[in-house]
Structures are given as C-alpha cells and as structure tokens.
Amino acid sequence: MPHFNAAAALHFCVLLSAFPAQYFISQWYRTDAAQRIRITERLIIASWSSFTKSYLSLDAWADRLKLSLSNTRTCLNVGLFILHFRNWYCGEKKTKTGDNEGETHSYFAESTHVRSPKPGYVRFSVGQVIVHKRLGYSGVIVGWDVTAKAPEEWLQHRYPPAKQDLKDTPHYRILINKVDGFGKSTAYIPEEEITLTMGLQVVHHPDMKTYFSGYSGSKYIMQPWLKRIYPHD
C-alpha cells in the first residue's frame, strides 16, 4: 500500500483544483468577446452580492456579534470554572495540610501553647539533663505535657491495660545523647521512668542549638522562643 503523507495530499488537492480551472479557461476561450463580457459581469455581480451579504449586511454582523459573545461567554465560563476549581483545590489542600500539622505538633510535647501556670506535680523542667532509669541513656528535656498527648494508636501500643494509668501522668520530650549510642534521637516518656543526673552533663545532639543557647552549670538555658512556652521552668 503506497505511503500517503502531507506532501502527497497537497499534490492531490492541486490536481483536483486544476479541473475546474481548466473548465473555466476552456469556457472562456470558447466564447466570443460579448459572451466573455457577460460572463465577467455575472461573476462581478455574484461576487458583489456575496460580499454585501457577508460584510455589508446588518444581519450578518449581528450574527457575528452573537457568535463572538457566545464564544467569549464560553471562554469566561471555562476560565471561571478553572479558577474556582483551583481555589477550591488549593484551599482544601491548605486546610488539610494545616489540620495535619496542627494535629502533629500538638503531640509529644510539641504544642506551642504556653504552659502556665505550671502544675506542682510536674517535677522536672525543660533544660534539665536526665537518665532513663531502665534503659540507661541520658538526654535533655525539651518539653513536657501534664498528661500524655499522642495518637490513640501510639498510646495503646505504648501502654497495655496494666499500665493505662501512666497516660494520666506528666510526660517529657527528650533529646537523647548521641554518645550513648541508643539508636533513637528523641523519646517521649512518663515521669516515673526518668531521674536527674548529678553534676555537669554534656548532651550531644544536632538540635541542641535550636532549643538552647548555653549551659548554666545545672541546666541548659532555653532559647527565647522556648522560654515563652515554658516561662516557669
């Protein structure tokens, strides 16, 4: 089967257009001068009539205007639909993202709400260096909650029925000392599992400067933003 491409199609169209052209030329030269004049007059009249109907008629321009307005309205409607859809989608996405961030940051002592007044039963403070009683790693406190704030699935896994009462005790967020080689960088643990270290204790963790500006000799000094959250620690 021969290959039919664009060039072949163009060649075919030129050949087709040659037939009416040849017919017109043959008709033109087969007539005398008077007939050629009448044919020319008819062609001019027909062309002028078509031109007046297309471009000098109010009805024709009215139809063009209606079509143009219809196309414009269609484009506007499509544009408005796209705009509304984009705003809706971005708004939904932003809302969902904001909700997720809010839920995440309210867990594990990461909420930024001010802990004031500080309950007397919260024994430890942000900046103090602690040791885990059972696992033996050391770390520094960077936040606390008066009770455990975590996803329900995490709480169920962390506290079996025999330890459910621990959920209602103070919980602390800890930056774990890297030199202890524990394998985790942070922990969220109940108060009963930690105790304070004695004397100077240096904690090595990549986030230390985010939370603290230095060491006072007994505890780490909170950065201003952290001090605003824990004003009594």
How does pLDDT run along the chain (233 residues), one tens digit per residue?
A: 455 555 555 554 545 455 455 555 555 555 566 666 666 667 677 666 666 666 666 666 666 676 766 665 555 555 555 554 544 444 444 333 333 333 446 899 999 999 999 999 999 999 999 999 999 999 999 999 999 999 999 999 999 999 999 999 999 999 999 998 888 899 999 999 999 987 668 999 999 999 999 999 889 999 999 999 999 99
pLDDT value at position 181?
83
Output the CA–CA distances (angstroms, integers) from residue 94 to 55, 99, 146, 181, in the order listed: 53, 8, 31, 39
201 touches 180 (CB < 8 A):
no
| Token pair recorded at residue 14 | 């030129």
Domain ranges of the chain: 35-89, 128-229
Sign (positive or negative) of CA dihedral 142, 145, 148, 152? negative
Burial class (CB in 10 A: 0-12, 13-18, 19+), 158: middle
Q: How far is CA 15 from the centre of its chain?
A: 58
pTM: 0.56
